[in-house]
Amino acid sequence: MAMNRRQALAALASAPLWPWLGSATAGSAPTRVYSASPVTTYLLAALAPDVLVGWNFPPPAQAKGFFTPAVLAKPVVGGFFGQGKTPNTEALLATRPELAIVSGATSVNIQESSEALARLGIPSRVIRLNSMDDYPAAIEQLGQWLGRSEAFAPKAAFCRSLLSEFAALPLPHPPPSAYYAEQADGLASECPGSLHNEVPDRLRLRNPVQCPGGQHNGFGMVRISAETLLAANPDWIITQDMAAYQAFTQQPRWQGLRAVQDRQVLLAPQQPFRWLDRPPSIVRLIAVFWLYDRLYPGHHRFDLTELTQKFFQVLFNASLSKAAIESLLNPENRLHAPG
């Protein structure tokens, strides 16, 4: 019988201490860091991939080119990120982490996971990443822990500037309705206020599909019926699943939807991580600009290509050409590419 999350954490916490576990010299910055959830792992991978000891699950194929082969080849050690998930103890200990970063952003009990890590001899620190607004302070905190405050300060300042710039953008009232489609058939969605729905929420978009009882759980992916979606008839459909995008744009049963008829079905960028969520990451800070640009073309308030180019330069240390950025921003074009 499968263990529930509490039982799994108890088993992990009861494991014996490993005295050979790596530890930073007193007063020195850690050089081997384990991140306990994908939200923080993706942030660490962007800012300091050299200290990351492993991934919570295999890095996405589209991350190739944004990270070195050595970073992508780091071991998969698991993590604490809901649905009873806990790390692989042996794989984690084999990486000899000097510090673990813990976050409650994905419905994980911080106290339980911190205690389990402590039992393994791994010191942990908690970082707040419950929304996009938390990134500047989180980056500064990471900079202090890693002894890189000076290097991380401009990155935090850039994130603050992005948040301020986006907050100043005008939003129409009432906003359009937009269905956020998840899973291959597009018949799953998120509730307003969900961590996984933050990008559409920032644009105050109205998801016409209501969650049962107005409630949502931390994991999301609330299933709906085709009849419900057809009756809702949204102005826009937004997805980051290629299969869902193809279903809405090609299947006959969806051709009566207003969004399909008006060619207002959007496929979110995927590189180096999915821009909207699964898992939610720092890329959401540029995703809100991408979505604004797609919903309100001709706004003339920012140049999306230039802003995206700067985003990856500052936060991922990646120099991308304008042609590469244009390809990244328009993933649907790959469906129509020759061959």
CB-based contact 18:106 (threshold 8 Å):
no
- Which residue, among 338, 178, 195, has the nearest Cα to 264 in the 3D structure? 178
pLDDT band at 240 (very low <50, low <70, confident <90, very high): very high
329: pLDDT strictly greater than 60: yes
Task: Please state, in angstroms and as integers, the Cα–Cα distance from residue 327 to each residue in 33, 87, 269, following that order.
Answer: 33, 36, 9
Mean of per-residue pLDDT scores for the chain:
89
Domain spans in the chain, listed from the N-terminal domain onward: 5-153, 178-336
**Quick one: pLDDT at residue 282?**
97
The rounded percent of the chain whose pLDDT value lies above 70 is 87
pLDDT, one tens digit per residue, over 110-127 is 888 899 999 999 999 999
Q: Which residues pair with 289 in a beta bridge?
A: none
Topology of domain 5-153 in CATH is Rossmann fold (3.40.50)
- Separation between Cα atoms, residue 72 and residue 58, nearest integer Å: 8
CA–CA dist 319, 309 (Å, integer): 7
- Integer Cα distance of 41 and 87 in angstroms: 13
Q: What is the pTM of this model?
A: 0.90
If one looks up domain 178-336 in CATH, what number appears?
A: 3.40.50.1980
**Confidence class of residue 26 from pLDDT cuts 50, 70 and 90?**
low
Examine domains 5-153 and 178-336 and report if their fold is the same. Answer: yes
